Structure 1
Amino acid sequence: MMDTEETLQLLTAQMPGIDNSETSLAVLGVAVGEDRYLIPMAEVSEVIAIPKLAHVPLTQPWFLGLANVRGNLYGITDLGVYLGGDPVPFNLKSRILLVMPGNKLYGGFIVNSMLGIRDLSEFTPVKLAKKKLPKCITAQYKDAEGRQWRELSLFKLIGDEKFLQVARE
């Protein structure tokens, strides 16, 4: 599994005329409940409106069901609930981030709203909180207004053993 830096290096190596040392990291800002996250653009294959989901019984509360997107089945996760938050009703601003890291893993993550494409250089790194965070939280930042953002790797999340155990125990 590639991390964000390896993915960025691979992508920029394939772009002639781009100096890797000066390449900025484009991230997608999203709101999940009251929290703000930055997700590397290289990890998101597509953003879609929430389609009709096929419910799957006896699954974890964060697993909302399956969506058929152009013939591919995606397991859809309520990202906020998976990360330990309470369920938040979805609305017209809610979207699904589709991820395909390879090995026929297809995942979709519902976020409450999109906050735009950002450049990671706009943010100031801060130390990660001492409390135990999921492995998929790779960094923490503050923006110019002092708001907290967490960098979230969907590739790390989708490869996590806990995430792969969708069945209720």
Structure 2
Amino acid sequence: MTMSDQTPIALLRDLESRVRSTAVGLPEQEEATETFSGIGFRIGDFHFVSPMSEVTELLRVPNFTRLPNVKPWVLGVSNIRGRLIPIIDLNAFFNYESSTPIRSRRILVIEQNEQSDGLVVDGVEGMQYFAADSFDPTVPDLPEGLKPFVTGHFVKDKRIWSRFSMISLSDHEQFQDVAV
């Protein structure tokens, strides 16, 4: 049978067969891995990450007014865009000494149960991304006061990032008890 004797369908099938036999394989489809993203921050030499949904704002430490009869870790209150927000020194709350001057530190603003708090941390490490399946639910070696607020950790570039729950902190009885 000559080429002119073949039907158009037979010609197309023959062409497809020859193309498939010489075609380079398509790349394998990679499955998209689920990620955890959060705000990275430091308290001393310890690195933490909190879910994006738990931190509403990042700020430089604003001017604040000291308050009488409050625990030493409550630095005062600040007017931030018309809202009075308590300024809490997390290092002092956790009895952990900070070597970073207060004006060089940063604030994570959290909102829980219609209450906003400004949490002073030693530094903000920006957005952090981790493969969700790399989460380890064990609490790493941390000072005892921090452990109740840590739900596990990630490891990235040989650094341990403890997953910190702002909700647990905000709901904690000791955090709510600010009066002396």
- Shorter-chain TM-score: what band? 0.7 to 0.9
Question: TM-score by structure 1 length?
Answer: 0.75
Are 1:117 and 2:127 counterparts? yes
Distance 1:125 1:23 in 2: 15
Matched, 1:143 2:153: no
Q: 1:27 aligns with which of 25, 28, 38?
A: 38
- Alignment of 1:105 with 2:115, yes or no, is yes
Deviations 1:28-65 (A, max 9, x none): 11111121111111111111111101101222121111
How many residues align? The count is 146
Partner in structure 2 of residue 18 of structure 1: none
Q: How far off is 1:23 after superposition?
A: 4.8
Q: Which runs of 5+ in 1 are unaligned?
A: 1-20
State the one-letter code of the partner of 2:120: I
CA distance 1:158–1:87, change in 2 (3 Å): same
TM-score of the pair, normalised by structure 2: 0.71
Question: 136-145 or 125-134, which moves further after superposition?
Answer: 125-134
**Secondary structure of the structure 1 residue equivalent to 2:62:** coil
Query: 2:151–2:164: 8 Å Cα contact kept in structure 1?
Result: yes
Match of 1:62 in 2: 73
Q: Which has the higher helix share?
A: 2
Task: In structure 1, give the amino acid aligned to 2:162.
Answer: R
Aligned to 1:42, the other structure's residue is in SS state helix
| Structure 2 unpaired stretches of 5+ | 1-31
What is the Cα deviation at residue 68 of structure 1? 1.0
Specify the structure having the higher radius of gyration (Cα).
Answer: 2
CA distance in 1, matches of 2:75, 2:62: 12
The answer as to whether partners of 1:30 and 1:116 remain within 8 angstroms in 2 is yes
- Amino acid of the residue matched to residue 85 of structure 1? Y
1:118 is paired with a residue of what secondary structure? strand
Percent identity, aligned pairs only, is 25
Distance 1:128 1:144, change over 3 A: same
Compute the displacement of 1:166 (Å).
0.4
Matched, 1:81 2:77: no
